[in-house]
Structure 1
């Protein structure tokens, strides 16, 4: 069974992007020579992102194909067809449950917000790789929205990369109730 994982950076107050969808705060954070991205990317063969994240990735890559060596899915109710990704308009939970049963490497949930919340509610995210940047944004797009299902995770490891600290958690196999 494939694992579903989140990999991404947030501010200390929990934002993925500032109020203008900018990641400049992250690019301004010194990471030193080390990063975990390349090793992480080798473990995945599929990405899933929402429309807004897809559009922001396209801006950052100057409209080059997103993750060209991966199978890319974009969850959207407004897009119909893309050249470099498959649009999902059906129930995202059912789609991810089916994807988990397929053969392959890990699936990367890119971005956050509603997509992450829907998958968290069904306990479908198996692993979390969250890089914490030493900045408070005050406003912006949050990684975590309010949810009704408490969950406990198990710490796998932490890494320091310059001023970033990465925490790697996995779903608690015991499913502790809170």
Structure 2
């Protein structure tokens, strides 16, 4: 099984995106360019995300190609059009991760619905969560209600402009 990690930013009230699945609030925040995303990105082999996350990143990140040079998988229960470097998967993300090679790292990009079964299965080995000092009121939460409790070790906290990053390990 591949090592699964999460890396992403949330609002102070715990949302990955606003109620319209927008990321504007994140991309307009001072200091985002200081977050060491490139260093993290070099450590991963695969990405997995849900369709809503793919749509939001594709629309708001203004990237021609999302996550080039990586193997990318989008979980969707319906047929969707995606970039040529993406593959659509209609299946269980836990089983998918468990079948990936053990010498590889998979970035579970988000969101809450895709993350929930992965978290419940205890598959996320490390977390890098950037907390942005903004309350957006409602939206797509990072954490949906869980059926079990999990404890993590806080490895470090860092500040990058207006972003506070926590690094956790299972």
Same fold (TM over 0.5): yes
Match of 1:2 in 2: 2
Q: Secondary structure at the match of 1:43?
A: coil
Aligned partners of 1:118 and 1:29: how far apart in 2?
A: 30
How many residue pairs get aligned? The number is 169
Q: Secondary structure at the match of 1:66?
A: coil
TM-score, L = length of structure 2: 0.92
**CA offsets per residue over residues 92-145 of structure 1, 9 Å max, x none?**
21111111x4433x2111122111101011001111100000011111110100
Query: 2:35–2:163: 8 Å Cα contact kept in structure 1?
Result: no
Q: Secondary structure at the match of 2:124?
A: coil
Aligned partners of 1:15 and 1:111: how far apart in 2?
A: 11
Q: Secondary structure at the match of 1:55?
A: helix
Aligned partners of 2:71 and 2:141: how far apart in 1?
A: 26
Aligned partners of 1:2 and 1:58: how far apart in 2?
A: 26
What are the within-5 Å matches in structure 2 for residues 24-173 of structure 1?
Answer: 24-31=24-31, 34-62=34-62, 64-79=64-79, 82=82, 83-99=84-100, 101-104=101-104, 106-171=105-170
Higher Rg: 1
Question: Mind listing any 5+ residue stretches in structure 1 that lack a counterpart?
Answer: 172-178
Q: Secondary structure at the match of 1:150?
A: coil
Aligned partners of 2:30 and 2:65: how far apart in 1?
A: 27
Question: Mind listing any 5+ residue stretches in structure 2 that lack a counterpart?
Answer: none
Q: Which runs of 4+ in 1 moved over 4 A?
A: none
**CA offsets per residue over residues 64-99 of structure 1, 9 Å max, x none?**
232111000001111266422111112221111111
CA 1:32–1:113 in structure 2 vs 1: closer, same or farther (change >3 Å)?
A: closer
Aligned partners of 1:145 and 1:24: how far apart in 2?
A: 22
Q: Secondary structure at the match of 1:58?
A: helix
Query: 2:3–2:102: 8 Å Cα contact kept in structure 1?
Result: no
